[in-house]
Structure 1
Amino acid sequence: MEHHSLLDASGLMCPEPVMMLHVEIKKIEPLEVLKVIATDPSTTRDIPKFCRFLGHTLVKQEQEGDVYYYWIQKREK
């Protein structure tokens, strides 16, 4: 899936991936897509909650083995 920016949070544990996500989502323009790569299973709970709470769209979520992928579209202003 197409994306504008990438956050590789592999090897990081809660709460670091979501803390980094807060920083990275601010760097992209509204409606752009940020791809997140993570290895912490808690991201399967935390990233969807992050999106719902802040109004971003979780466009796609995949898992390949122990690696989790998320495509998040930044909300409009």
Structure 2
Amino acid sequence: MSPPEYEHFIDTRGLVCPEPLMIVRNKVRTMQNGERLLVLATDPSTDRDFRNFCRFMKHTLELVEVANKEHKYVIRKGVQDAS
């Protein structure tokens, strides 16, 4: 399966909590509803942080991949699945 397309990109590799979440939060604020953000990270706590952020802010976490200690996320602003 190919990853979803995205309009925005942030590389937070090498940063640790809370920096990746704060950077993503600030970026998402500038985006339009329905736009997607690709985030690369190496901090394992981003998995929990981004899931909670999306749930609380009603965004959709469309992709979560982990390979070789690198995390890849696609967050879609303002569109949350009913599940």
Normalised TM-score (structure 1): 0.94
Counterpart check, 1:20 vs 2:23: yes
What SS is found at the alignment partner of 1:36?
A: strand
State TM-score, norm by structure 2: 0.87
Correspondence for 1:34: 37
Q: Distance in 1 between matches of 2:76 and 2:41?
A: 17
User: Identity, % of aligned pairs?
Assistant: 41
Aligned residues: 76
1:55 corresponds to which of 49, 53, 58 = 58
Distance 1:39 1:27 in 2: 24
User: What are structure 2's unaligned runs of at least 5 residues?
Assistant: none
Structure 1 segments, 4+ long, off by >2 Å, are none
Which of 4, 8, 32 is equivalent to 1:5? 8
Secondary structure at the residue paired with 1:59? strand
CA shift for structure 1 position 27: 1.7
Structure 1 stretches lacking a partner, 5+ long: none
Query: Which amino acid in 2 is paired with 1:19?
Result: M
CA deviation after TM superposition for structure 1 residue 52, in Å = 0.2
1:1-38 CA distance string (max 9 Å, x none)? 21000011010000000000111101211100001100
